[in-house]
Amino acid sequence: MRCPSWRNCLRSAASSSAKFDDPLRYRILDQEVLQDPDICLVYPSRPYPPDAAIPRDDITRILDGMQALRMVDTTIYLRTASINIFNGMVSLTFSCDGSHYMRYDEFLAKGPAFWSGLPA
């Protein structure tokens, strides 16, 4: 399996991650580490969990939507986000607007215009 495409969606200085078999220990990965193609060798390849509430094909769409929210406005922008594939939730924290928790399909149904308040 190739390195995950989520590396291309990251635009911040760091990312946190947790191993599937060690979920209580977060790892902070800086840009230098994230840009190293060998980082994939540290994390073993695993099949997508069959009990995940979010279909595998929607993960890229969710990450693309998060990336778009980083650039939707210079004042109000996405600061942090997370995806919980098992309960189907997306968490979003904006620079000036607080936090939002919603089902992944609700997030996918909303576009950048919704978050910016601009007409679609």
Q: What is the pLDDT of residue 3?
A: 39
Say yes or no: 119 and 89 in one domain: yes
Say yes or no: 93 and 116 in one domain: yes
Say yes or no: 59 and 83 in one domain: yes
For the ranges 17-26, 27-36, 95-104, which has the lowest average pLDDT?
Answer: 17-26
Say yes or no: 36 and 95 in one domain: no
Residue 21 DSSP one-character state: T
Please check the confidence at residue 37 and state whether its pLDDT lies above 70.
yes
Q: Highest-confidence range of 8-17, 31-40, 75-84, 103-112, by mean pLDDT?
A: 103-112
Assigned token pair, 34: 């994230």
Domains held by the chain: number: 2
Q: What is the pLDDT of residue 34?
A: 76
Residues in Cβ contact with 71 at an 8 Å cutoff, skipping those fewer than 6 apart:
77
Query: pLDDT tens digit string along 66-107?
Result: 888 887 777 778 888 999 999 999 999 988 778 889 999 999
Residues in Cβ contact with 112 at an 8 Å cutoff, skipping those fewer than 6 apart:
65, 68, 69, 72
High-pLDDT (> 90) share of the chain, %: 28
Say yes or no: 34 and 72 in one domain: no
Say yes or no: 56 and 3 in one domain: no
Q: What pTM did the predictor assign?
A: 0.72
Domain span at residue 8? 1-46
Say yes or no: 22 and 57 in one domain: no
Terminal Cα distance for the chain, rounded? 38
Q: What is the pLDDT of residue 45?
A: 80
